[in-house]
Every structure is written in structure tokens, then in C-alpha cells.
């Protein structure tokens, strides 16, 4: 038995964010019905949108697993009535249509809660339900990646911001929506009442950089990624091996992890160097230490380092 066996979910979604959330609920046992317009979810044609002359869409298949599907034209009375029949029997409704579109269809949270008081309504928007941008289109590259400032923080000053891999922000927001829907279903077990779960790509992106925001609020300074050769923590940095492979050291607790790394390197002498003896000392000599580590890591293959790291308990990836 799976945790959501017996629960019914109706999804009116497109592209990635809402479909991904509904797919996760389906993975856990919910009976998910995906509602599409006669033209279909545009993610069915995602490769053609970027000029590839191929059939099928693996991204669509990924985020629409574990579902049944129905085509409804919600511009017609028949289509709206059919959707209403599905919602009468549903435990949760998942959508990422924009607020204005949902209001025109009378599928906004207030309308749905009035008609279906036990329904959990989960909406995933670009910028939320209030404010001047409530109906602005929001892919994850815009609302999750660009607007919260994630992209601007990832490269050193003066370099162009990096792109985002397809669907990365959408799936992060989808997990947030799933968490809210599950909490609302639990609350309904206690109260008998449904609830509204409101998730946005903008808030999800903002939460994702919570460390940086907390530091900025406390110290009044904006975080920024430094060039690799100037990383403020040389033991939490990436390096290249003799066979042109890159790996990350993840020795975040510097003084704890430093001795094991020195043993793996066969360079216990670095531990006696006053420039590198403590976390504070290493922070003041990052360029010198990174140069030393670069030279050492260039001397072996990744497989060779993996064996030595694992033998000495060095954290890496």
C-alpha cells in the first residue's frame, strides 16, 4: 500500500511545475487525472519549440507519468461541467494557470472553495496572487532564476549570468507545492475542511537562496561568487585531475577535515605552514593554498584520488 492510495487528484497544468507536482502525488499512490485543452499541453512539443524535428517529448513523459488523461474544452459548458464532475470527487486540484485565467474560468481558489469545501486547491504561479505582476507569464528561468537574483549571484562580478537547466526551478517549486498539499490533506483529516496552497516560482527561488538573504540582512552585504582561484574556502572548492576530470572537495568543517586531506595528499608539511594551520589562516591565504592544491591534484587521475580520499575519509564528489 502506498501513502496516497485512495486519494484523487485533478491536474489542470502545463509545461513542468504543476505536472511535476501531480506526478509526485501519483508516485505515492494518488489517482491523478490530467486535464488538457484540445491543443494539448505545450510540453508535448517542447523539442519542436526549439527547432528540433523529432517526434515525442521525453520531458513531457517524465512529468506526466502515473496519470490518466482527459481532453476538455473549458470554453464550453460541456467541458466545464465535465471538469466539475471530476472536482466533486477529487481530494486535491493542482494547477499552474495564471490567476486571471483561473478567475475567468471560475476556477480560482475562492470559487472552488465555495463549491467544493473539502477540496485542497494547490496553485503554482510565477509571481503569486497579489501585486502588479500576478498575471505575468513566469517560466522558471524568469521567475525562479532571474528575478530572485540566483543567476546574478552564481558567477563572479563582470561575468554574464549562467543559464538554468530545463525545469530545475519548476521541479523545486513542485516539491514545495506537494509539501503544502500534503499538509493541507492532513489538516483536512482533522478539520473536515479543504484549504488553499499558494506556491510561486518567485518565492521558491527566494527561499532557495535563504542563506545569502540571511547573511545580507544581518551584515548588510550582498553575497557574490568569487573566481575559483579566490574561493573563500579552498577546502570547499572544485579542482581538476590529471585526466581532465573535475571534482569538488566538500570539507566544509575545515579544521576537522584538514588532517585527513593532508594524509590523502601526502602533504602533512602543509599543516605545519603557518599560512594554512587554521581556518582563519587559510582564509587569509586562499590564493596560495588553492595553487598548492591545484598542483597536487593535477598529479593523479580522478580514480587515483578517489581511492586515496575514501581511505582517509575525505569528503568529495
Residues 202 and 132 grouped into a single domain: yes
Catalytic site includes residue 170: yes
Structural domain includes residue 98:
yes
CATH number at residue 17: 3.40.50.10540
Length of the chain: 317
For residue 142, give every residue at least 6 positions away whose Cβ sits within 8 Å of its Cβ, in sequence order, or none: 126, 201
Predicted TM-score of the model (pTM): 0.93
Residues 19 and 115 grouped into a single domain: yes
Residues 255 and 142 grouped into a single domain: no
Structural domain includes residue 215:
no
Last residue of a domain, one of 180, 208, 236: 208
Residues 195 and 142 grouped into a single domain: yes
Structural domain includes residue 213:
no
What's the pLDDT at 51?
80
What's the pLDDT at 223?
81
What's the pLDDT at 55?
82
Low-confidence ranges of the chain (pLDDT < 50): none
Residues 294 and 264 grouped into a single domain: yes
What's the pLDDT at 152?
92
Residues 249 and 133 grouped into a single domain: no
CATH number at residue 253: 3.30.1540.10
User: How many structural domains compose the chain?
Assistant: 2
Residues 87 and 147 grouped into a single domain: yes
Structural domain includes residue 200:
yes
How far is it, in rounded angstroms, from Cα 73 to Cα 14?
Answer: 15
Residues 291 and 156 grouped into a single domain: no
Name the catalytic one among 31, 108, 170, 273: 170
Structural domain includes residue 219:
no
Parent domain of 65: 8-208
Residues 114 and 165 grouped into a single domain: yes
For residue 169, give every residue at least 6 positions away whose Cβ sits within 8 Å of its Cβ, in sequence order, or none: 140, 141, 143, 144, 145, 201, 204, 205
What's the pLDDT at 194?
98
Last residue of a domain, one of 173, 208, 243: 208
What's the pLDDT at 222?
84
For residue 207, give every residue at least 6 positions away whose Cβ sits within 8 Å of its Cβ, in sequence order, or none: 176
Residues 51 and 168 grouped into a single domain: yes
How far is it, in rounded angstroms, from Cα 95 to Cα 137?
Answer: 14
How far is it, in rounded angstroms, from Cα 177 to Cα 192?
Answer: 21
Amino acid at each position: 500500500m502506498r501513502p496516497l492510495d485512495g486519494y484523487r487528484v485533478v491536474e489542470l497544468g502545463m509545461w513542468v511545475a504543476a505536472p511535476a507536482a501531480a506526478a509526485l502525488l501519483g508516485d505515492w499512490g494518488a489517482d491523478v487525472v490530467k486535464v488538457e485543452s484540445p491543443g494539448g499541453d505545450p510540453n508535448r512539443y517542447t523539442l519542436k519549440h526549439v527547432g528540433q524535428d523529432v517526434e515525442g517529448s521525453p520531458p513531457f513523459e517524465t512529468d506526466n507519468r502515473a496519470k490518466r488523461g482527459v481532453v476538455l474544452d473549458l470554453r464550453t459548458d460541456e467541458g466545464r461541467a465535465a471538469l466539475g464532475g471530476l472536482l466533486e470527487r477529487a481530494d486535491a486540484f493542482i494547477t499552474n494557470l495564471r490567476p486571471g485565467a483561473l478567475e475567468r474560468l471560475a476556477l480560482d481558489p475562492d470559487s472552488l472553495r465555495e463549491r467544493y469545501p473539502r477540496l485542497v486547491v494547490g496553485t503554482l504561479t510565477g509571481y503569486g496572487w497579489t501585486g502588479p505582476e500576478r498575471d505575468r507569464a513566469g517560466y522558471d528561468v524568469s521567475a525562479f532564476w532571474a528575478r530572485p537574483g540566483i543567476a546574478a549571484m552564481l558567477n563572479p562580478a563582470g561575468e554574464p549570468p549562467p543559464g538554468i537547466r530545463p525545469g530545475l526551478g519548476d521541479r523545486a517549486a513542485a516539491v514545495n507545492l506537494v509539501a503544502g498539499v500534503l499538509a493541507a490533506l492532513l489538516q483536512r483529516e482533522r478539520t473536515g475542511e479543504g484549504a488553499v496552497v499558494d506556491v510561486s516560482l518567485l518565492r521558491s527561488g527566494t527561499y532557495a537562496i535563504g542563506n545569502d538573504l540571511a547573511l545580507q540582512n544581518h551584515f548588510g552585504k550582498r553575497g557574490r561568487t568569487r573566481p575559483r582561484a579566490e574561493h573563500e574556502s579552498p577546502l570547499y572548492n572544485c579542482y581538476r585531475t590529471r585526466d581532465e576530470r573535475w571534482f569538488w572537495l566538500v570539507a566544509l568543517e575545515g579544521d576537522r577535515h584538514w588532517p585527513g586531506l593532508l594524509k590523502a595528499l601526502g602533504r602533512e608539511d602543509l599543516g605545519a605552514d603557518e599560512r594554512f594551520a587554521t581556518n582563519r589562516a587559510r582564509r587569509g591565504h586562499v590564493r596560495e593554498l588553492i595553487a598548492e592544491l591545484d598542483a597536487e591534484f593535477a598529479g593523479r587521475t580522478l580514480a587515483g584520488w578517489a581511492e586515496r580520499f575514501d581511505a582517509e575519509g575525505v569528503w568529495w564528489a
